[in-house]
């Protein structure tokens, strides 16, 4: 069945630059706090909108002086902090193309991106200088290697003195909405990373959908969106959704620990939280959760991977707050989710945004009836879809089927229009003719009190074609025994259709993950294939 989206009530203006949006807010409210930065040590510092825009203007002037201009591709490898915010805004101001990179990328990842995208300048976090030095000689397009502070290194320019002496005023370029603004590489969960291009108009759509309908950011909010720079997710929430609403971003530069996060949520009285399912899952396993008083928290969202029911129940019990799931991709914005005011159906991702027309389709591109599993697809006229994969028109073309953009994920829709995620098309397990989504098996396994994490994949089997095999990390101090294997299998059979239970279970200490923390089932699948 097909969902009819309402007429798209928003139209992206023909010229749009998100940095100009922030300029306008800052000139009306220069003293409003834009960033509240908290270090691992507990020290904190606030930057107002006026200060942030002045800083971004100086950065824009420094780039211009260096010769970095509109249309140039600039790779940014900075951790959470003022420099990242100032640099992203400064690059938008000059009309450049931002290539977000994580500070966790290594030499070969960096080299791949520089060569693939023809990167002209790199702005790096100082510890990355040696990594980049090992590959820079082979990167012909690379003209500038820039760093904030500490650049005694040959071939590197310290931006700080340039920024300090630059002017505080800058006229933000009036970009066309169809110019490329962002070149974001995907997580590489299913293979090599792909260069996804987004336009200057994209943040306009993202603000209308994700910031407004899902996170529900208001000007008075203190918002903690935990994603780190380098992925589209940072641009989604910590950058566009907060600054585009005049709210204050809570920026924690320390490391993740579930109790530390809970203490910060309490002591700073965060009002909106956007975190990953793994972060929620680990917080939900903390003892005496209700001792933390999260009185101001009114909106909590999760995206990036499936959200387990267990987490939703635990947060509801401890804090009386509904953790709302959201589904989207680097290639889009938020598409499907439990939007504000929508009744939640735990285990489902929610429904498409009123601005998105989504359906479950078959291989011929026809919408499937309620309850049938197929490809999750989005009407290709949707305003916030990507411009294409860089230098890969064939792959871009393959992601469309008739009028549909095909996400590469599978799911089903219920009679009320809620979407249920089954798994990435490549991760789906077919065993004795049954189609099994790994998420349901993993979700059941992590409900067991001794299980910390789990991943289910297809393992070749001479009789059944494939069987479900689960890789399981046990909670600290638990040893995996044959009895525990039976117990976990029994446990899954009670929670899902019995044919879905993992016929094989292997206890492991860790699971292969992407830099952004997603499980790479492709590696586990390969391992099983090699073993057979
Ligand atoms: P690659 O495309 O390189 O394999 P990736 O798809 O993991 O990497 P992203 O664009 O960061 O890169 O992630 C989008 C994918 O994450 C979605 O296609 C989906 O598989 C998964 N995902 C995102 N949000 C959710 C969610 N709420 N529930 C289930 N899965 C989700
Ligand atoms: Mg993908």
- Separation of CA 327 and ligand 1 centre (Å): 8
User: Which atom of ligand 1 is least distant from the CA of 439?
Assistant: 29
Task: Report domain extents, the chain.
Answer: 46-174, 429-531
Mean pLDDT over all residues of the chain? 94
Give the separation between CA 89 and CA 23, rounded to whole angstroms: 10
User: Which atom of ligand 1 is least distant from the CA of 337?
Assistant: 27
Give the separation between CA 333 and CA 61, rounded to whole angstroms: 30
Mutate to test the pocket of ligand 1, among 328, 425, 426, 516 (most ligand atoms within 8 A of CB): 328
> CA angle, 356 as apex, 353 and 359 as ends, to 5°?
105
Averaged pLDDT, 490-500: 92
Tens-digit pLDDT profile for residues 270-314: 999 999 998 998 899 899 999 999 999 999 999 998 898 889 999
Ligand 1: residues with CB < 6 A are 186-191, 193-194, 303-306, 325-327, 329-330, 349, 407-409, 421, 424, 518
Give the separation between CA 209 and CA 356, rounded to whole angstroms: 9
456 close to 442: Cβ distance less than 8 angstroms: yes
ipTM above 0.85, yes or no: yes
Residues with Cβ within 5 Å of ion ligand 2? 186
Tens-digit pLDDT profile for residues 76-117: 999 999 999 999 999 999 999 999 999 888 898 899 999 999
Mutate to test the pocket of ligand 1, among 196, 305, 419 (most ligand atoms within 8 A of CB): 305
Tens-digit pLDDT profile for residues 503-531: 999 999 999 998 878 899 999 999 999 99
Percent of the chain with pLDDT over 90: 84
Q: What is the pLDDT of residue 192?
A: 77
Ligand 1, atom 15, residue with closest C-alpha: 329
Intrachain domains 46-174 and 429-531 with the same fold: no
- Let me know how long the chain is: 532
Give the separation between CA 369 and CA 366, rounded to whole angstroms: 10
Q: What is the pLDDT of residue 370?
A: 98
Give the separation between CA 527 and CA 532, rounded to whole angstroms: 9
Reply yes or no on domain 429-531 having CATH 3.40.640.10.
Answer: no
Question: Minimal CA–CA distance to 97: which of 234, 200, 232, 239?
Answer: 200
Looking at the domain 46-174, which fold is it? Answer: Rossmann fold (3.40.50)
Ligand 1, atom 27, residue with closest C-alpha: 327
Of the ligands numbered here, which is closest to the C-alpha atom of 236? 1
For residue 386, is pLDDT > 90? yes
Tell me the Cα Rg of the chain.
23
């Amino acid at each position: 069945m097909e969902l009819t989206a309402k007429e798209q009530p928003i139209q992206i203006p023909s010229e749009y630059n998100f940095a100009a949006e922030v300029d306008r807010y800052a000139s009306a409210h220069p003293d409003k706090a834009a960033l509240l930065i908290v270090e691992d040590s507990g020290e904190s510092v606030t930057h107002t909108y006026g200060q942030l825009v002045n800083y971004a203007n100086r950065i824009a002037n420094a780039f211009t002086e260096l010769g970095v201009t509109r249309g140039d591709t600039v790779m940014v490898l900075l951790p959470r902090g003022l420099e990242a915010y100032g640099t992203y805004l400064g690059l938008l101001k000059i009309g450049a193309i931002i290539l977000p990179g994580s500070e966790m990328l290594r030499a070969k990842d960096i080299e791949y991106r520089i060569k693939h995208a023809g990167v002209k300048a790199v702005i790096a976090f100082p510890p990355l200088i040696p990594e980049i030095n090992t590959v820079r000689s082979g990167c012909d397009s690379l003209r500038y290697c820039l760093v904030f502070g500490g650049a005694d290194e040959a071939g590197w320019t310290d931006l700080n003195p340039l920024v300090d002496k630059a002017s505080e005023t800058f006229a933000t370029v009036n970009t066309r909405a169809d110019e490329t603004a962002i070149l974001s590489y995907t997580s590489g969960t299913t293979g090599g990373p792909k260069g996804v291009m987004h336009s200057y108009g994209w943040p306009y759509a993202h603000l209308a959908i994700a910031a407004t309908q899902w996170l529900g950011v208001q000007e008075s909010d203190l918002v903690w969106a935990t994603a780190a720079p380098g992925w589209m997710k940072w641009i989604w929430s910590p950058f566009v959704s907060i600054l585009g609403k005049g709210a204050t971003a809570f920026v924690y530069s320390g490391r993740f620990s579930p109790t530390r996060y809970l203490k910060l949520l309490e002591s700073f009285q965060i009002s909106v939280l956007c975190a990953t399912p793994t972060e929620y899952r680990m917080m939900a396993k903390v003892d005496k959760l209700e001792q933390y008083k999260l009185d101001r928290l009114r909106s909590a969202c999760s995206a990036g991977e499936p959200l387990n029911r267990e987490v939703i129940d635990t947060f509801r019990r401890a804090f009386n707050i509904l953790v709302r799931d959201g589904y989207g991709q680097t290639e889009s914005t938020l598409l499907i989710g439990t939007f504000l005011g929508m009744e939640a159906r735990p285990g489902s991702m929610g429904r498409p945004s009123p601005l998105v027309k989504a359906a479950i389709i078959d291989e011929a591109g026809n919408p499937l009836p309620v309850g049938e599993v197929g490809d999750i697809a989005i009407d290709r006229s949707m305003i916030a879809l990507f411009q294409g994969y860089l230098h890969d028109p064939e792959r871009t073309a393959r992601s469309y089927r008739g009028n549909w953009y095909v996400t590469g994920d599978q799911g089903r829709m219920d009679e009320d229009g809620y979407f249920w995620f089954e798994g990435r098309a490549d991760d789906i397990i077919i065993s004795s003719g049954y189609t099994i989504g790994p998420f349901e098996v993993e979700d059941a396994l992590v409900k067991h009190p001794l299980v910390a994490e789990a991943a289910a994949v297809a393992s070749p089997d001479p009789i059944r074609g494939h069987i479900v095999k689960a890789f399981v990390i046990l909670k600290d101090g638990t040893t995996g025994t044959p009895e525990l294997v039976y117990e976990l299998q029994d446990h899954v059979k009670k929670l899902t259709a019995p044919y879905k239970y993992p016929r094989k279970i292997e206890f492991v200490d860790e699971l292969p993950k992407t830099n952004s923390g997603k499980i790479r089932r492709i590696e586990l699948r390969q391992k099983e294939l090699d073993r057979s």
